[in-house]
Amino acid sequence: MAAHHITYATGAFRRSAEELTRSMATYGIATRVFTPEDAGIRALRRQYPEIMRVKRGAGYWLWKPFLIDRTLAALPEGAILLYTDAALTAVSKPASLISLASTDNPIVLFEQGRPAGLLLPSRSANGHPDAASS
């Protein structure tokens, strides 16, 4: 089954998201980039304005479980969903990660501070003042 990839990018991370999209496409995986203009994100801003106004995590990352849940609900049963932060770049085939998620581990988590050989911080995000807080 095909893998689906999503990410989220505010204006500061749009270039990084473009680089991530290109790097995933190299391995045959299309990326959907959600932005603050997405209808679901606008609805979150209306429902939780105080949280979504916070700069850190573009609203304390409230959008992340929302986007993952919304995307999973739209995918067929058994589909593979990959979520990565926009400031990452794919540097090798994600086939082993997809295989891992297809078997006994339906949820696979990685910590950005420890490169796993699949994703590295994007060059576009380096030096950006918001990179550490988003």
Query: What stretches of the chain adopt beta strand conformation (E)?
Result: 3-8, 31-34, 80-83, 88-90, 119-121
Q: What is the pLDDT of residue 56?
A: 92
pLDDT of residue 112: 59
CA distance 47 to 127: 33
* 88 contacts 122 by C-beta, under 8 angstroms: yes
Q: What is the pLDDT of residues 12-63, one digit of tens each?
A: 999 999 999 999 999 999 999 999 999 999 999 999 999 999 999 888 889 9
